Amino acid sequence: MSDRQWSALALALDLACDLILGTEWWGKSLLVTFGWAGLPVLPKVTRRKGGTISSRYPNNGYVPRHH
């Protein structure tokens, strides 16, 4: 069998697992299947760490008190 045929067979088995065990199992199994086949499953997402939601507050929300 070619790699493509193995991937199709694995996907069919994953779909059968979905019907029997539920979507949570299928999602994990799908990740393993495509990871094994060498295919990218999900793009890597990076998030900005810290800071405020908006860039209009450069001091991270700190406002000095004016006397």
pLDDT at position 11 is 76
Amino acid at site 28: K
Residue 33 to residue 42: CA distance in whole angstroms: 13
- Label residue 14 by pLDDT band (50, 70, 90): confident
pLDDT for res 2: 81
Boundaries of every domain in the chain: 3-36
- Note the pLDDT tens digit of each residue in 24-66: 554 555 555 555 555 555 544 555 555 555 555 555 566 666 6
- Residue of 3 and 53 predicted with greater confidence: 3
The pTM for the full model equals 0.30
Phi-psi group of 47: left, alpha or beta (phi > 0 → left; psi -120 to 50 → alpha; rest → beta): beta
